[in-house]
Chain A
Amino acid sequence: MSLREKFQNGKFVVTAEIGPAKGVDVHEFNENADLLKSRVDAVNCTDQQSAVMRLGSLAACHLLKQKGIEPIFQMTCRDRNRIALQSDLLNASVMGIENVLCLTGDYVTLGDHPDARPVFDLDSVSLLYAARQLEQGKDLAGKELKGTPKFFLGACVTPGADPIEPQLIKMERKVKAGAQFFQTQAIYESKTFEAFMKEARKFGVPVLVGIVVLRSAGMAKFMNKNVAGIHVPDELINEMDKAENKLDKGVEISARLINEMKGMCQGAHIMAIGLESKVPAILDAAKL
C-alpha cells in the first residue's frame, strides 16, 4: 500500500530517515534499510543533509525501492536550478518513486563545501508548485510533457519556531502550492506541538510529528544553542544527564514523546541520525 493510501485509510503513519553514506559503500545503508523494512510505512532519504556532499537521495531511494521499501525522495533547492530539479522529478517518476519531500535546503557555508555557489533558484514553495505543474503535463516554462508524472508531495514545518506565525503562513502557502503531507522539525514539548496543531489542523493535510533521538545531554544542549526551532526542555536534559545508558534513555524518551503526541497528529517521523538501528526499539517501546 502506498503512503498516500495509508493516509487515506486513516492509518497512524510511521516514517524514518536514512542519510546515505559519504562514498559508495552502501553496506550500512542496506543494513539499516532491512531493519526498517517491516517496521515503518516509508523511509526518507536525505538530500546531502547539512549541505555535506554524499551519495544522492534519488539513488538511495532507488535502492530502497528495489528492496520493496516505500521511499520518500527528499529534494532541496540548494544545489540544482529549476532545470535540474524538474528533471530529477521526472527521473524519480520513471523509477516509480512517488513521494517527494520538497525542502529549501541548508545553506552551503554550513556544510563541507563552503566555497560552493549556492543555487536556490527555486525554494520549497516554488518546487512544490513546479511538481504540481509537471503533474498537469507542463513544465515551469509552460512547455508540454510527453507523459505526465504523479507525485505525493510533502513539505516541512517547524512547530517550535518562535514566533510561530511566519511558519504557519509559509505552511499555508506550501499547502496552496501543492503539499499533501508534512513532516515536522523535531519537537520535544507536547504542549507547544498541541498549540501548533490547533492552528495547523485547519489546513486539512496530515502532519507527522518529528522525533530526533537524543544521544546525550550535550547533544540536547548543542541543539538548543545552534538549531533553529528546536528546544529540548531542562527536564529532558537532566534525564539524559543522569541516565546510565544514554542510548536506552534516548529510545525511552522518543517513545514517550510519540505517545504523548500521537493523538494530536496523523503520524510520526523518526530522525535517528546515525542511530537507525534503534528505531525498532523505539517503535516497540511506543507499541507501534
Chain B
Amino acid sequence: MIISELKPLPEILGYLDKDKKIFIVGCKGCAEVCQTGDEPQVLDMKQKLEQEGKTITGHCVVDFLCDKALIKTRLFTHEDEIDAADSLLVMTCGIGVQATAAVVNKLVHPAANTINVGGVGGTWRGSERCRECGDCVLDLTGGICPLTACTKWLVNGPCGGAKNGKCEVEPDVRDCGWHLIYERLKKLGQLDKMRTIAPVVKNYAKMQPPKALRSSIMWALEQQETKV
C-alpha cells in the first residue's frame, strides 16, 4: 500500500500555469483507498480546474497505474483526448506519475504527495521508484524522480560526475538520473524547468511517517498484524 494525499490546489494550479488543456489520470489501486485518485476525486478535480478556466480534454482511471502495460491499454482508448491536451495531471503516488510520464509523450504533473510509511513501499512491476518524500518534485523533472534516479538525491541539477550518460558511482549499471531528466525535458521542449526555478531546499521532516498516519486505523491494523 502506498499512501498519497492531494497537494493544495494553488500548488497544482502553479504547475498548470502555462497549460490550458489538461487530461486527468487516476488510479483504482492505492490511490482509490487513499481517496486521492479514484473516480470521485478525478471528477472533483475536473470541476475545480474547469472553474479555473481550464479545459479538461478527458480523464481516465486506470486499475493499477504502477503497471505500464495496463496504462498503455487503458490510455489507448483516450489517445485523441491526450493528444489534444497540453499536459497530463496524475492524481496518484510518485510511481503512478513516473509510469505515466514514461509511456506518454507529454509533460506530466503530479497532483499528490506520496507520504512516508516508514519502510514498506508496496509492490509494483516497473522500474519506477518513489522515496515517499512527502513533497513530490516530479513536476520540475519531467516525471523522473531525482531522489531515486540520482545516486546523490540531487534536486538542483546534475553533478559533474556523469560520463556517457552513466553515473560515476556504478557506471556499468546506473544511468545518470539528471541525464535522463535532461533528455526527457528536452524532448518535451521544457528545458526551462531545469533553468528557471529557485534553489530547491528539500524539507526532510516530511520523510517521516506523519503523526496523523501513525494514529490512523490502518497503522493500528498493521501493528496488530505484526503481533499475530
* Complex contact A125–B161 (CB within 8 A): no
With A107-B169, A120-B154, A126-B199 as contacts: A166 and B194 at CB distance below 8 Å: yes
Residues of chain B contacted by A158 (CB below 8 angstroms): 160
Interface string of B161-177 (1 = CB under 8 A from A): 11110001100000000
Question: Chain B contact residues: over half helix, strand or loop, or mixed?
Answer: loop
* Complex contact B182–A229 (CB within 8 A): no
* Complex contact B156–A173 (CB within 8 A): yes
Closest to A156 in B: B160
Residues of chain B contacted by A109 (CB below 8 angstroms): 169
Give which listed residue, B152, B157, B197, B204, contacts A166 with CB less than 8 A: B157
With A107-B169, A129-B199 as contacts: A169 and B160 at CB distance below 8 Å: no
* Complex contact B195–A123 (CB within 8 A): no
With A156-B160, A166-B194 as contacts: A123 and B168 at CB distance below 8 Å: no
The reply to whether the CB of B221 lies closer than 8 angstroms to some CB of chain A is no
Segment 101-157 of A: residues with Cβ below 8 Å from B: 104, 106-107, 109-110, 118, 120-126, 128-130, 140, 156-157
How far apart sit A126 and B154, CA to CA, in the bound complex (Å)?
A: 10
How far apart sit A169 and B183, CA to CA, in the bound complex (Å)?
A: 13
A-B CB pair tally, cutoff 8 Å:
83
* Complex contact A118–B152 (CB within 8 A): yes
The reply to whether the CB of A252 lies closer than 8 angstroms to some CB of chain B is no
* Complex contact A169–B161 (CB within 8 A): no
With A104-B159, A166-B178, A166-B194 given, can you name 7 additional A-B contacts, CB distance below 8 Å? A107-B151, A123-B155, A130-B201, A165-B182, A166-B158, A170-B158, A228-B163
Q: Contact residues of B with A, CB < 8 Å?
A: 151-164, 168-169, 178-179, 182, 186, 191, 194-195, 197, 199-202, 204
The 7 tightest CB contacts between A and B, nearest first, are A125-B156, A170-B157, A129-B199, A158-B160, A228-B163, A104-B159, A120-B152
Would you give 9 A-B contacts (Cβ < 8 Å), ordered by A? Answer: A121-B204, A122-B201, A123-B152, A169-B157, A170-B157, A173-B157, A228-B160, A228-B161, A229-B163
